[in-house]
Amino acid sequence: MNIHEYQAKQLFEKFGVASPKGIVASTAEEAGAAAREIGGPGLVVKAQVHAGGRGKGTFKNGFKGGVHVVNTPEEAQDIAGKMLGQTLVTHQTGPEGKLVSKVLIAKAVDITKEYYFAILFDRGTSSHAIIASTEGGMNIEEVAEKTPEKISKEFVNPAIGLQPYQCRKIAASLNLRGPQMNQAVKLFSALWNLYLKADCSLVEINPLAITTDGQVVALDAKFNFDDNALYRQKDVTAMRDTTEEDPREVAASEFGLNYIGLDGNIACLVNGAGLAMSTMDIIKFHGGEPANFLDVGGGATKEQVTAAFKIILGDPKVEGILVNIFGGIMDCDIIANGIIAAAKEVSLNIPLVVRLEGNNVEAGKATLAASGLKITGASDLTDAAQKIVAAVKAA
Ligand code: ADP
Ligand code: MG
């Protein structure tokens, strides 16, 4: 799960991470009032969307920049009015862009240098990784590719936690000295504490800035949270903004389905994450493109299968469906009934290939055969993938 920058600022405040004061606004008038409360000169208006690269982004109506530094509250109100209700396109939003329904008004600071700082899970080393760079404010992927020597990493043993010497080492790698090193160490420790307590999987500050009056402050914030820990993070869960998420994934999460939307046209409905991965692989192997990853789980109910099927059918990109079930715990007849229930509610007019195997398979096959639905049966994974790819190409 992700949150907006203005929400990240609330967490900063709670955990003592230095960052300029900010107020969120949904209308130009609110933005003006927020700007007067913070007080000029020197304000920044920032579009609130779940995507980075806002500064260099362009609105669909041609207005340039999702981050503007202005002088007066009047200007802040004017700029906010130009952003709100408009769609911002950045290198992270995709060409469809994201609708801006909130802006953050924050105190602008005079920046002398911008750095990059992040804490994240590192599965490769089974630890947490701290990534820092003197090349902040810009595209870190590009820095990593072109000048990897400008990125320093420090790994944190999860059993021990981030140690003060590691904070000093990172600060030294950014050439920070004296009082600035002390401020940076304090900020890193506060961020680490926040990362751990809020069950984050990523905290990215780009830029972390040094101001002309020598302060070390976080100017941007991108957060990801570990979804498996959300049950114990009520405050974080309350920050969820489903309008920023893929509507297919939002619907799937309501039914406890593991669904990830992809760009292809062949939808998959599978039980078990490993089988779902192999199903996507074999579709690609036979020249098709999967429209989604979908694992209905080992013990899905008929309601979940129906919901899953409806999510798939509601996706305009989908031109064919492959159901691949290996009934270990799953009863094949439940799948069959779920498919039929969904097909009754949403008309099924695209090819459907079903491969069923395992627990109660005969009953499942009989149920499907008796339904009158147009279904192509398949004997194994290869057969199933070949049939759905061919059917979609023919249609
Ligand atoms: P994004 O990464 O989405 O473009 P940022 O929050 O990083 O958005 O803002 C882009 C740039 O705007 C920053 O690199 C920084 O130079 C400037 N900026 C952002 N917030 C402030 C602020 N409070 N004061 C001054 N400049 C800012
Ligand atoms: Mg940024």
Rounded to the nearest angstrom, the distance between the alpha carbon of 230 and the centre of ligand 2 is 25
138 has pLDDT over 80: no
Task: Give the span between the Cα atoms of 166 and 164, in whole angstroms.
Answer: 5
CATH topology of domain 21-107: Dna Ligase; domain 1 (3.30.1490)
Rounded to the nearest angstrom, the distance between the alpha carbon of 206 and the centre of ligand 2 is 4
Q: Which residue has better confidence, 331 or 285?
A: 285
296-299 own/partner pairs: CB under 8 Å, 24+ apart: 296/257, 296/258, 296/269, 296/270, 296/271, 296/330, 296/335, 297/256, 297/257, 297/258, 297/271, 297/272, 298/271, 298/272, 298/328, 298/329, 298/330, 299/329, 299/330
313-351 as b/e, with b when 16 or more CB fall inside 10 Å? bebeebbbbbbbbbbeebbbbbbbbbbbbbbeeeebebb
> Can you give the pLDDT at residue 150?
94
Please name the residue whose Cα sits nearest to atom 19 of ligand 1.
219
What confidence tens digit (pLDDT) does each residue in 53-107 have?
999 999 999 999 999 999 999 999 999 999 999 999 999 998 999 999 999 999 9
Tell me: domain 111-237, CATH 3.40.1350.10, correct? no
57 CA closest ligand 1 atom index: 4
Split at pLDDT 50, 70, 90, the class of 126 is very high
212 has pLDDT over 90: yes
Rounded to the nearest angstrom, the distance between the alpha carbon of 67 and the centre of ligand 2 is 10
Mean model confidence pLDDT for the chain: 94
> Where along the chain do its domains lie?
21-107, 111-237, 247-394
Does the beta carbon of 55 lie inside 6 Å of ligand 1? yes
Split at pLDDT 50, 70, 90, the class of 166 is very high
Please name the residue whose Cα sits nearest to atom 13 of ligand 1.
137
Does the beta carbon of 105 lie inside 6 Å of ligand 1? no
Please name the residue whose Cα sits nearest to atom 24 of ligand 1.
108
Ligand that comes closest to the CA of residue 115: 1
Ligand that comes closest to the CA of residue 92: 1
Rounded to the nearest angstrom, the distance between the alpha carbon of 134 and the centre of ligand 2 is 14
> Can you give the pLDDT at residue 330?
84
Task: Give the span between the Cα atoms of 166 and 86, in whole angstroms.
Answer: 43
Does the beta carbon of 67 lie inside 6 Å of ligand 1? yes
Q: What is the mean pLDDT of residues 304-333?
A: 90
Split at pLDDT 50, 70, 90, the class of 232 is very high
Does the beta carbon of 219 lie inside 6 Å of ligand 1? yes
Does the beta carbon of 106 lie inside 6 Å of ligand 1? yes
Rounded to the nearest angstrom, the distance between the alpha carbon of 146 and the centre of ligand 1 is 23
Split at pLDDT 50, 70, 90, the class of 246 is confident
- In the chain, the percentage of residues whose pLDDT exceeds 90 is 81
Split at pLDDT 50, 70, 90, the class of 139 is confident
Rounded to the nearest angstrom, the distance between the alpha carbon of 263 and the centre of ligand 2 is 27
Best probe residue, ligand 1, of 43, 44, 212 (max atoms within 8 Å of C-beta): 44
Q: What's the farthest any 2 CA atoms get from each other in the chain?
A: 78
Ligand that comes closest to the CA of residue 67: 1
Sign of the CA dihedral running 252, 257, 260, 263: negative
Does the beta carbon of 137 lie inside 6 Å of ligand 1? yes
Residue spans of beta strands (DSSP E) within the chain: 22-25, 43-47, 58-59, 67-70, 87-89, 98-99, 103-107, 111-122, 127-133, 151-156, 200-211, 216-218, 222-225, 258-261, 266-270, 292-295, 320-327, 352-358, 376-377
110 CA closest ligand 1 atom index: 25
What confidence tens digit (pLDDT) does each residue in 356-386 have?
999 999 999 999 999 988 899 998 999 999 9
CATH for 247-394 is: 3.40.50.261
90 CA closest ligand 1 atom index: 3
Count CA atoms closer than 13 A to 60's CA, side-chain side. Answer: 13
Query: Which residues are catalytic, by number?
Result: 116, 204
138 CA closest ligand 1 atom index: 14
Paired tokens of 278? 């192999």
